Structure 1
């Protein structure tokens, strides 16, 4: 029998007004930078990440109900477009799939679509081998990609940072018809990647676990690199085109050659929670007119315009 105290907690968590009030209070506390940074970074990050990886897969109904209920307090979770609304575990909810047609990719071949749902972060042009994580905080593209030649190839090109929040849909998709040529996996730390941490930790994206996915666009030959960056409670990136069961962490840092063709909008992989994708495109690519820093974008929506000659 489920203890009455647990029943009471579950009933409370399903009271919409109570949840909204408590969530608002917690949000105000979390928005205070010192508290937020302390709670999300000054803890044993890797230990916490391993624990959540284990805890999130527990399928006990009481544990599942409590953990999902508590998560709702911190995140504005919308499941209206989820393929299913009943989940075996917290992890099952994190990596949820969507209803068919929920994220249709823009069909225009002159448009690079967003690979994921995200909040748009820093963007611009790669200059002298550096890009920005936030204003006034540059980082080295070579350090991010782990490859000097790859970094040089993107000099003068465009980039955009896409941050996935914990409540968002966590799968990411091909931004164009393309072929994946290689994946460079780089093991690393699990710093939070929210704006508060980005303003405080130099070279943050270069510290965390990440994978540089090198692709060639079909029909144009342009080389586009996507870099999924893991974070605290999220240190697991799965790539469907390499096999959904492959855990990149198992083999350590390495480069994996491949030749995988993907159609625009086809699923590439997923995070075990939320995190960041940084997309690098050649010179001549530019952000779509509707894309603004701080704005929200959904997978499949226009992200960049290809050069006019490529569109022709």
Structure 2
């Protein structure tokens, strides 16, 4: 007789998901019925996880690019239970909900202070052993860390995270050591992964950049989720100039996938910092650094006007899990195939800083020089111009940089310049 322990993990997870989807506790389309239904479904999901409490069922699945095999990390019931706790409190019970939120915020601050204390350094060896961290990658000696938090946002040797195609500015690279999700549009992300009822690009960008939200609504989106054991510095995915940064105060919900896939708008409600990065190859890219449960701070290490290259650090998180959401304008990036395939299956892809994850797609205007030689070029943001129209003596070309040869693949459009 075949038992749960004989089945493949993916089969069990899919079966549980299907069972939860088909669960109907309350029939009705009014707001109260929907909320009761959502809360009941979340409770039932937690109950199922506790019932089938084997590593196979409780593991979270990630596809590692390096080995192309399944990498499993156990997710104990205690961790699962703390994810949707705030969702079990109906939004109408504002006082109770607010009290819970404040308790989480207080706990995050206290935990940060605890890990800043000198005695917390005693936890470092156990943390290294538990997560099998590679100490030879760390730039400092272990005994130089005077508190656990110092180790948590440790720096790595530059050689530990080489940049793929270092001379090709059109090669988009990972911003962090993380579990990444990539989507071709924000709508795809909302359909497949981000389930927050109130999630919008405008809400994520806040008041300062709300006017720019429309530029990103039809564009690509990437989510870089850092777990506690990860290297917690984040790096620029493109060559760029840093724009005016803005900090948005908020909550400290967990950024675990179970929370992201509930009705709660974790990204929009959590504390976050907007870092605009202006790239000649990708246009204006919005990096949204999001704090989470047990994260005391989001630190940026760059200033407005600084130029950074791909792989250069621009900040770090203090203790806890955390996330970076990166938004691109429509048509600016073409993702590599594997993160797109994984994302459609609701699977995260394990990547490290500097790994290639996509390619820039731009249109250029070339100013012809003597005997037709190109003297200069500039990016043209309107894709409609790519049909061979000649404006003001500029020959238009279409192409992008790609491939191991690190060459630019341009197709010149031979059109005589008119009067």
TM range (shorter): 0.7 to 0.9
Equivalent position to 1:29, from 76, 79, 86: 76
1:211 aligns with 2:211: no
Equivalent position to 2:309, from 247, 263, 272: 263
Q: CA deviation at 1:215?
A: 1.2
What is the distance in 2 between the residues matched to 1:133 and 1:48? 31
Segments of structure 2 that go 5 or more residues without pairing to the other structure are 1-58, 60-72, 89-99, 363-398, 402-409, 411-419
Q: How does 1:31-50 map to 2 (within 5 A)?
A: 33-34=80-81, 37-38=84-85, 44-50=103-109
Q: CA deviation at 1:153?
A: 1.7
Q: Are residues 189 and 74 of structure 1, via their aligned partners in 2, closer, same or farther at CA, if it must alter by over 3 Å?
A: farther
Aligned to 1:188: 250
Aligned to 1:126: 186
Equivalent position to 1:64, from 118, 121, 139: 121
Aligned to 1:226: 287
Q: Are residues 235 and 28 of structure 1, via their aligned partners in 2, closer, same or farther at CA, if it must alter by over 3 Å?
A: closer
Q: Are residues 191 and 71 of structure 1, via their aligned partners in 2, closer, same or farther at CA, if it must alter by over 3 Å?
A: farther
Q: Are residues 154 and 89 of structure 1, via their aligned partners in 2, closer, same or farther at CA, if it must alter by over 3 Å?
A: same
Q: Are residues 232 and 70 of structure 1, via their aligned partners in 2, closer, same or farther at CA, if it must alter by over 3 Å?
A: farther
Q: Any idea what SS the aligned residue of 2:116 has?
A: coil
Q: CA deviation at 1:70?
A: 5.8
Aligned to 2:323: 276
Q: CA deviation at 1:37?
A: 4.3
What is the distance in 1 between the residues matched to 2:105 and 2:135? 29
Stretch of structure 1 that moved more, 69-78 or 46-55: 69-78
Query: Which TM-score applies when normalising by structure 1?
Result: 0.76
More helix by share: 2
Q: Are residues 101 and 74 of structure 1, via their aligned partners in 2, closer, same or farther at CA, if it must alter by over 3 Å?
A: closer
Q: Are residues 32 and 115 of structure 1, via their aligned partners in 2, closer, same or farther at CA, if it must alter by over 3 Å?
A: closer
Q: Are residues 95 and 187 of structure 1, via their aligned partners in 2, closer, same or farther at CA, if it must alter by over 3 Å?
A: same
Asked if the contact 1:187/1:208 (under 8 Å) is kept, the reply is yes
Query: Which TM-score applies when normalising by structure 2?
Result: 0.58
Q: Any idea what SS the aligned residue of 2:106 has?
A: helix
What is the distance in 1 between the residues matched to 2:135 and 2:192? 30
Q: Any idea what SS the aligned residue of 1:295 has?
A: strand
Aligned to 1:287: 335
Please identify the structure whose Cα radius of gyration is greater.
2
What is the distance in 2 between the residues matched to 1:154 and 1:283? 6
Aligned to 1:110: 170
Asked if the contact 2:83/2:254 (under 8 Å) is kept, the reply is no
- TM-superposition CA deviations, 1:203-230 (whole Å, max 9, x none): 1110101011111113x36111111100
Q: Are residues 27 and 186 of structure 1, via their aligned partners in 2, closer, same or farther at CA, if it must alter by over 3 Å?
A: same
Segments of structure 1 that go 5 or more residues without pairing to the other structure are 1-23, 243-257
- Count of aligned residue pairs for this structure pair: 267
Aligned to 1:52: 111
Asked if the contact 1:122/1:132 (under 8 Å) is kept, the reply is no
